[in-house]
């Protein structure tokens, strides 16, 4: 015989079929849970008190059995001395432990926590009795079989009542767990509602902002059209067209100057390495070799002539080696002679450009360009607003989907607690 009285797996009674439907507001559910819990706790306390009475009787019966066992000599005087010692020691240990476990008073049940306390106390009693009987099971089988059988029977009754008590607690703990889950879901739903209100408010702001932006676009388009329709704008465009056409003339002048300086590029480049000019003149010489069109001006005429004459002298002196020195000197002198021609071409071109650019003042192009930039930026804002609106709209739909899923879950869990279908008002 093995004495084991562990907890048995308890199963709650299945939920009764739904008898009615109850439509409630979301904010009413916490009160409904409280309303359901009060009679439930009352029933638990009532049933737990009944079970405690049964348990007390079980303990009393067990206590009576061990008192008889205590007064019974078990005929140990008739057995071997060593066996007698083992038997007496085992009997005394069983009697002492069970008397102790069945003598104390259980917690008085006044509230739910007392039910849990009593259940824990009975669990401890069963465990300690089971442990001591398990430890001395051979002694009980050999010397006190009739007491062992009686104890087994009474302990089984105690365990049965303990299991019934445990079932009450399991049911209440499940109720509490489901209640807390429902309250958490309600809190989550409230948070979703707040987010949804915020997103809808933002959508309203975006619609208003978009409407104002579209009005701004219309205004800017009208203003731009009005500016472009002015005769001054047409005159401005004609002048700018003439300026653009003059770019060809500039290229022709530049081509003539570049062609002339290309003829003397070899001696001029070689002289740049051996010249004794100071830094400003050396820098001017490098720029003249790189882009003569930009360097040639009335201001730079004398320094350019000085550079060209110095180059010619260096060729004559043999400091700059060229294939045909006479030809190089001739081309340098030719370049010096043509400087006035180049200056005249550049001056004439610059005068034409200056006169045309002065004519551009007939129209305030900066105002038009400013409005066109503003229009481009405003159109970009419309694209951003539409993207934001689409994103927020998608988030609102996701919120609604999550909201509906939570609503169904709350209804299902509350229905389970209520034992009647609960529907949340929309």
Structure tokens at 63: 């206590």
Q: What is the mean pLDDT of the chain?
A: 88
Say whether pLDDT at 340 is over 50: yes
User: How much is the average pLDDT of 79-89?
Assistant: 77
Q: Could you tell me the pLDDT band of residue 77, with boundaries at 50, 70 and 90?
A: low
DSSP H helix total and E strand total for the chain: 12, 2
Is the predicted pLDDT of residue 137 greater than 80, yes or no?
A: yes
Q: b/e per residue, 127-142, with b = 16+ CB within 10 A?
A: eebbebbeebbebbee
Decide if pLDDT at 11 tops 50: no
- What CA–CA distance (Å, rounded) separates 301 from 41? 112
pLDDT at 110 over 60: yes
Query: Which tens digit of pLDDT belongs to each residue from 261-289?
Result: 999 889 998 888 888 888 899 999 999 99
pTM of the model: 0.58
- Partnered with residue 23 across adjacent β-strands are 423
116 pLDDT above the threshold of 90: yes
Give the mean pLDDT of 157-169: 95
pLDDT, tens digit, 9 for 90 and up, residues 15-65: 444 456 788 888 888 888 898 899 999 999 999 999 999 999 999 999 999
Q: Are 189 and 400 in contact (CB under 8 A)?
A: no
**Percent of the chain at pLDDT above 70?**
94
Residues 228-238 have pLDDT tens digits of: 898 988 988 88
In the chain, % of residues over pLDDT 90: 56
In the chain the first and final C-alpha atoms are separated, in Å, by 63
Helix, coil or strand: residue 257: helix
Token pair belonging to 229: 């329709």
Assign domain 24-179 to its CATH architecture.
Answer: Up-down Bundle (1.20)
Q: What is the pLDDT of residue 174?
A: 92
Angstrom distance (rounded) from CA 391 to CA 318: 80
Continuous H helices in 21-75 = 29-71
264 closest CA partner among 366, 191, 338: 338
* pLDDT surpassing 60 at residue 13: no
Are 315 and 322 spatial neighbours (Cβ–Cβ below 8 Å)? yes
What's the rounded Cα separation, in Å, for the pair 118 and 162? 9
11-20, 226-235, 397-406: least confident range = 11-20
């Amino acid at each position: 015989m093995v004495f084991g009285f562990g907890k048995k797996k308890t199963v709650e009674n299945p939920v009764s079929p739904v008898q009615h439907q109850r439509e409630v507001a979301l904010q009413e559910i916490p009160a409904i849970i409280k309303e359901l819990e009060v009679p439930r706790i009352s029933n638990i306390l009532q049933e737990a008190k009944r079970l405690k009475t049964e348990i007390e009787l079980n303990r009393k019966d067990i206590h009576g059995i061990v008192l008889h066992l205590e007064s019974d000599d078990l005929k140990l005087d008739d057995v071997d001395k060593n066996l007698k010692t083992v038997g007496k020691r085992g009997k005394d240990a069983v009697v002492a432990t069970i008397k102790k476990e069945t003598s104390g008073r259980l917690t008085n049940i006044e509230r739910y926590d007392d039910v849990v306390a009593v259940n824990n106390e009975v669990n401890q009693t069963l465990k300690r009795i089971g442990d001591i009987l398990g430890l001395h099971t051979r002694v009980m089988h050999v010397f006190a079989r009739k007491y062992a059988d009686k104890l087994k029977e009474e302990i089984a009754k105690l365990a049965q009542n303990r299991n019934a008590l445990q079932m009450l607690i399991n049911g209440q703990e499940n109720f509490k767990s489901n209640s807390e889950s429902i309250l958490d879901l309600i809190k989550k739903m409230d948070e979703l509602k707040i987010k949804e209100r915020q997103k809808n408010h933002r959508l309203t702001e975006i619609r208003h902002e978009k409407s104002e932006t579209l009005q701004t676009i219309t205004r800017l388009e009208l203003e731009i059209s009005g500016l472009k329709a002015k005769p001054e704008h047409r005159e401005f465009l004609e002048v700018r067209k003439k300026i653009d056409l003059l770019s060809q003339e500039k290229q022709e002048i530049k081509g003539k100057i570049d062609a002339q300086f290309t003829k003397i590029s070899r001696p001029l480049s070689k002289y740049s390495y051996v010249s004794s000019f100071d830094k400003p003149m050396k820098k001017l010489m490098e720029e003249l070799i790189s882009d003569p069109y930009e360097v040639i001006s009335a201001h730079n005429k004398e320094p350019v002539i000085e550079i060209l004459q110095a180059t010619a002298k260096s060729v004559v002196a043999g400091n700059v080696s060229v294939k045909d020195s006479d030809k190089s000197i001739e081309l340098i002198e030719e370049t010096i002679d043509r400087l006035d021609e180049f200056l005249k071409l550049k001056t004439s071109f610059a005068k034409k450009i200056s006169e045309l650019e002065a004519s551009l003042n007939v129209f305030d192009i900066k105002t038009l360009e400013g409005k066109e930039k503003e229009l481009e930026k405003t159109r970009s804002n419309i694209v951003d607003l539409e993207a934001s609106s689409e994103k927020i709209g998608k988030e609102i739909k996701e919120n609604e989907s999550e909201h509906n899923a939570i609503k169904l879950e709350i209804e299902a869990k509350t229905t389970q607690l209520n034992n009647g279908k609960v529907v949340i008002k929309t």
